[in-house]
Structure 1
């Protein structure tokens, strides 16, 4: 039996257990489904490294639990930041909040290299598809996706550091 066939058998055999394991941590159906997808992607990438196929269920449950815990922690961090931001801005008017948000976004975007900033703006502000941007830049779609992903990760990191600093300053 080939690796693909073995993996398909493993998927159909252990899908329910992996979902139950993820759901027991996250307590959210959609996030649990995302965790299952991520679990099986990781399992597929490392399927060759599993020497004893007798331990597939334990291996998958461990991956699933770890992925679910990571997703749960990420969701908690995002909810804490969102709640803290909402609390910090609750007394401001909509106009003040819009100005603060625009300044914050401008600061975030200016932290990126010019190329990454342009790519994000072309995709999210002007609505270009990844295919159109790849055509324009004469590069592959996967290269565009990678650069956009890295730029968004950098923005996320800068935003988290910046919003924490903003919250600290506003709490004084």
Structure 2
């Protein structure tokens, strides 16, 4: 009877120690990657509240499956994968109403400063890139992934990723140059 009590006490202690280690690991993940996850989610959604929800759901799913993260060096890629899936689930759950106007025709009265205007212009130009070029560019610029990490994340060949990044930058440069030419001609 005393043996059962001691074994039960030892098992409870092991569980508590395991939970404490998991909590420490989780808090380290959140602390290290929360800003990157939010920045990427915001680029995907263009909405602060949706981005916050996606990041929260990402970290909730990360907590639930934290034991499956075997390599701490792969944590950022692992979290990005979860976040991308959460963003995709958002479209599975919700049917969007189609409207008669396009996003770039909406004027934001809060965009007072020249910097905000330029940032919004850049975001629109990036949003207008084809997905196969936009996604690697965002993973590199917003999340800070290398070509190898992007290739692994998108399940592509590294050369394909590098070509898409090169083309994305060129498309973006051309779009921005043409926008500057139009403004110069009008101004």
TM range (shorter): 0.3 to 0.5
TM-score of the pair, normalised by structure 1: 0.43
Greater helix proportion: 1
TM-score of the pair, normalised by structure 2: 0.40
